[in-house]
Structure 1
């Protein structure tokens, strides 16, 4: 591409990623709904932001800062009108090992590095790849996150120091072994109260913010009863100023793998969340995936500069926004402004919230992520879907989220290839009814039968690709006692380099045994690949490529006659 062509193309691509006036085209009609939706989302997001900040190892303040800064930046620059961004449970799961290995001061660096990678992915147009992630992988991933979040709450729910380790399950077991159960009664009682309120209240009145009511009620109980439980503690009374973390090359290199994992998760979760929002609101413009990545990249960079956590689009908060009537980005911006007001005006009150209360909120959130009905549906759909779902869930819980998606997609690909290979086949067909031949062309029935015996017609169905070529080679290697093989390729829906190479091997092997190969029905979309890999050149004559079966059979009969005449004369 020349410079004259590249510059206008790059300019158009960058302009497509920038905010537009059209982002707020519906605002005159929807601003009241947007403001109410933003307030509603902020009420739901407050305990989650605090809880995920604590779960990540950086503290409640970092979670709140992330919700404000990243939420505002992603709202303006992201590709979805409905997306609400901030700290999430999945990100807390990934960050806990980072804090354990490198310390809390490494997290803003990881956020900035990951933001740069996500931003680059948006510029390069990688956003549409999320459409290729199978549904069982997404559900297994989501269910696994719910299990890990629940396990992470064990130390907070018991007011017990977190045990050493990175795996959430092992840490939970070790924490249980080190718990003073007499001291754990009070925090467990608060957890039970929160869980009960969050389960019962929506059944009584769906419009009430159950999580906020539960947090306020449990905090009041702790204050009135003067319970000796751990609290959030002192929160900042204002947003910190932006600053660049001081890092050296060695630190940056050590954190790169963590930043890559965070970037992959931020991109994946944000695009999945936006896809969910698109499905919930049919009357809103669809998410622009590359712009969404660009906005999430900027949001992560901004969050890191303010000392916050990496952020992603949050499925739960986005769903609340849609259900509350949000229709433009103003709803997500309103959510960020309300949380900022809480930092400036209500920091001391928020600091009195017990950590076990946040653990109760997150336990309910985690339980809602484990959708048993969907899990049963996937498992009943067939062994392949169940395998992909269970493997993804297990890898999420035992290892990490990014590996879970990689392994899940790989298993899904292998299962799909196996199914495709099974649906493909090589079939020998009976010779079609021959037209009457003249006396000079062998009128005797025995002669006509002889022609049939020396021609074999095979039909290849489905796919001829790397996962199945050996079976085709082995079956055609058994062909004998014929002079011509006609391969019908019209039903080959997919042909890759391995499949084309297999055709070359088949043709060469049969030719060495004196058998002529005729190809019928090679699709136009496969022609270039077959030609470039030598399929056409392997034929005895380039005229041995046919579009019509009758023409191919006529050529085959003529060849057999010539061969028989030559043998008779000899």
Structure 2
């Protein structure tokens, strides 16, 4: 198998100029500044250190841009990973999270090499909406502890246990923390309106503005709230240690399932982000190259202490709106973050966790497609069941189970729908077929003609049994008009073989006519046509009736001109 490896960066460099470089640098700086508070907030919400989130954005962001299949994709930690990463950290520890991330990266890399990028699009939109909204709820709930300043040593990842712990510690609400959280939340939700009234605010992203304002307010007012410095001892102003995660064979086995979850979600979100970006810049991304880049990014990030990363829709859209049109903008964004760490890291110690929790809550609210719940009444029961089942299982149990359940339900409903569309109908005989030679003495037909519609597959093959119903008479020849049969699978082939054998035991012959390309190809390749006889495969119904006249026992040896 030939491996196609051609990053979008190579296509862009051939026509690159100074003007575009200036736009890319400006966009990269804007996105880099926006990514700083999001990277820290997502990391803390995931149970990791803020430094881990920043280095994830730096390393994964640079690799995604340099080697990806999209011109404008921005990679890094995202809100969608919060419940997954938090659950892995809670169950296995941060060290094993790094191992799971690298294992997921290998899976993504293999998916890209195997050219499976297009297969991700097979996931129904109902499943995507269901788990996206479910993840948003899980993220929102995970921020309640820091938003209210609750005194909780360990917050469980499991839904019911989390609710129980939050309720048991509701009396520990810290009023200064709650006041700062609410103020930051209101400020961020109303930021667009404020920016219209105060023009200078338009130059700064909302998360960065609330980060600065919240930090200054806590410092100037000397609010007794928890900060990055008090919980994590700040952010190291240096490069992190470089090395492979320390894993054992025992650890490797228990990390396979979490790694599959990371790989699946990373593939879905990165390709969804790339598709959104395509519509904004009138371009077309390479899904396989994007998966390769995401795989390499998730392999590289843990080497620097980072964790799971994927394409970030909000940061990618900001990149486009800021003028970024090539991967250079994403690379600049990573360099900007690196510069902030090496120069201004000590200032991060003053950032209140309440401010970061407000930022993540707004991200959770914005990432959910809540209007889809209002629209449910317009759709079928199948659509509603798949979406709601995926949503509730994501919230109450686990994302992996939710996606698996959603896919199983979607597949079952699709099979049922396709089987309903598959029909077998008795055709009225043409006038020439009412020749007395085609009739039994009692007036019943010696030839039965049926037409197949749709797809004869494992979910609909049982419909062939209608042809064997005694109430349909006892013809000596059965003609199957397959002009409107568009697809045949191996189970459908087996059904035709069984039908031929059962008819033969009754002394009845089978004739096929009007074969389309796919069913005809399978019937010829399987040897079914050879066993049936070439003469019993006709171009159309008229020719099939002529063949039936020849096969009728009482006419054998007669004039074959009809």
* CA apart distance, 1:196: 1.0
Whether 1:499 and 2:492 are equivalent positions in the alignment is yes
* CA apart distance, 1:198: 1.5
Q: Which moved more, 1:170-179 or 1:33-42?
A: 170-179
Q: Which moved more, 1:421-430 or 1:195-204?
A: 195-204
8 Å contact from structure 1 (residues 72, 336) kept in 2: yes
Q: Which residue of 1 aligns with 2:84?
A: 94
8 Å contact from structure 1 (residues 47, 211) kept in 2: yes
Counterpart selection for 1:180 from 162, 168, 171: 171
* CA apart distance, 1:204: 3.6
Q: Which residue of 2 aligns with 1:252?
A: 252
Distance 2:451 2:7 in 1: 49
Q: Which residue of 2 aligns with 1:351?
A: 349
Counterpart selection for 1:374 from 372, 386, 389: 372
* Change in CA separation of 1:23 and 1:119 when aligned onto 2, cut-off 3 Å: farther
* 1:475-521 deviations in Å (ceiling 9; x for gaps): 53343232221111111111101111111111211221122211111
**TM-score scaled to structure 2, two decimals?**
0.90
Whether 1:487 and 2:512 are equivalent positions in the alignment is no
Q: Which moved more, 1:298-307 or 1:152-161?
A: 152-161
* Change in CA separation of 1:501 and 1:212 when aligned onto 2, cut-off 3 Å: same
* CA apart distance, 1:25: 3.1
* CA apart distance, 1:304: 0.4
Q: Which residue of 1 aligns with 2:516?
A: 523
**TM-score scaled to structure 1, two decimals?**
0.89
Q: Which residue of 1 aligns with 2:29?
A: 39
Q: Which moved more, 1:43-52 or 1:119-128?
A: 119-128
* Change in CA separation of 1:274 and 1:173 when aligned onto 2, cut-off 3 Å: farther
**Any residues of structure 2 matched to 1:260-275 within 5 Å, and which?**
260-275=260-275
Counterpart selection for 1:470 from 440, 462, 465: 462
8 Å contact from structure 1 (residues 518, 546) kept in 2: yes
Distance 1:357 1:327 in 2: 32
* 1:258-291 deviations in Å (ceiling 9; x for gaps): 2232222222221221122112221x3x211121
* 1:279-327 deviations in Å (ceiling 9; x for gaps): 2221x3x211121111112211221000111211111211221222210
* Change in CA separation of 1:80 and 1:168 when aligned onto 2, cut-off 3 Å: farther
Q: Which moved more, 1:102-111 or 1:155-164?
A: 155-164
8 Å contact from structure 1 (residues 130, 272) kept in 2: no
* CA apart distance, 1:66: 0.8
8 Å contact from structure 1 (residues 464, 499) kept in 2: yes
Distance 1:43 1:499 in 2: 59
Counterpart selection for 1:305 from 303, 327, 352: 303
* Change in CA separation of 1:452 and 1:103 when aligned onto 2, cut-off 3 Å: same
Distance 1:456 1:270 in 2: 55
* CA apart distance, 1:151: 1.2
* Change in CA separation of 1:34 and 1:378 when aligned onto 2, cut-off 3 Å: farther
Q: Which residue of 2 aligns with 1:554?
A: 546
Q: Matched residue of 2:171: which SS?
A: coil
* Change in CA separation of 1:518 and 1:231 when aligned onto 2, cut-off 3 Å: same
8 Å contact from structure 1 (residues 26, 327) kept in 2: no
Counterpart selection for 2:41 from 51, 71, 78: 51
* Change in CA separation of 1:230 and 1:311 when aligned onto 2, cut-off 3 Å: same
Q: Which residue of 1 aligns with 2:161?
A: 170
Distance 1:425 1:506 in 2: 16
Whether 1:228 and 2:224 are equivalent positions in the alignment is yes
Distance 1:516 1:185 in 2: 86
* Change in CA separation of 1:466 and 1:27 when aligned onto 2, cut-off 3 Å: farther
8 Å contact from structure 2 (residues 57, 334) kept in 1: yes
* Change in CA separation of 1:19 and 1:231 when aligned onto 2, cut-off 3 Å: same
8 Å contact from structure 2 (residues 455, 488) kept in 1: yes
Q: Which residue of 1 aligns with 2:199?
A: none
* CA apart distance, 1:93: 1.5
Q: Which residue of 2 aligns with 1:114?
A: 104
Q: Which residue of 2 aligns with 1:190?
A: 180
Distance 2:96 2:331 in 1: 28
Counterpart selection for 2:64 from 56, 69, 74: 74
Q: Which residue of 2 aligns with 1:416?
A: 414
Q: Which residue of 1 aligns with 2:206?
A: 210
For the aligned residues, what is the CA RMSD?
A: 2.6
* Change in CA separation of 1:267 and 1:436 when aligned onto 2, cut-off 3 Å: closer
Distance 1:162 1:507 in 2: 71
Distance 1:412 1:239 in 2: 47
* CA apart distance, 1:404: 2.5
Distance 2:117 2:462 in 1: 36
Unaligned residue ranges in structure 1 (runs of 5+): 1-8
Whether 1:139 and 2:153 are equivalent positions in the alignment is no
Counterpart selection for 2:327 from 326, 329, 333: 329
Q: Matched residue of 2:455: which SS?
A: strand
Distance 1:63 1:461 in 2: 55
Distance 2:376 2:31 in 1: 31
Q: Which moved more, 1:27-36 or 1:417-426?
A: 27-36
Distance 1:382 1:225 in 2: 55
* 1:162-187 deviations in Å (ceiling 9; x for gaps): 54532245314422321334x42222
Whether 1:457 and 2:449 are equivalent positions in the alignment is yes
**Any residues of structure 2 matched to 1:533-548 within 5 Å, and which?**
533-537=526-530, 539=532, 541-548=533-540
8 Å contact from structure 1 (residues 151, 169) kept in 2: no
Q: Which moved more, 1:458-467 or 1:516-525?
A: 516-525
* 1:383-424 deviations in Å (ceiling 9; x for gaps): 222222212212222233233323222222221221111111
8 Å contact from structure 1 (residues 137, 408) kept in 2: yes
Q: Matched residue of 1:20: which SS?
A: helix
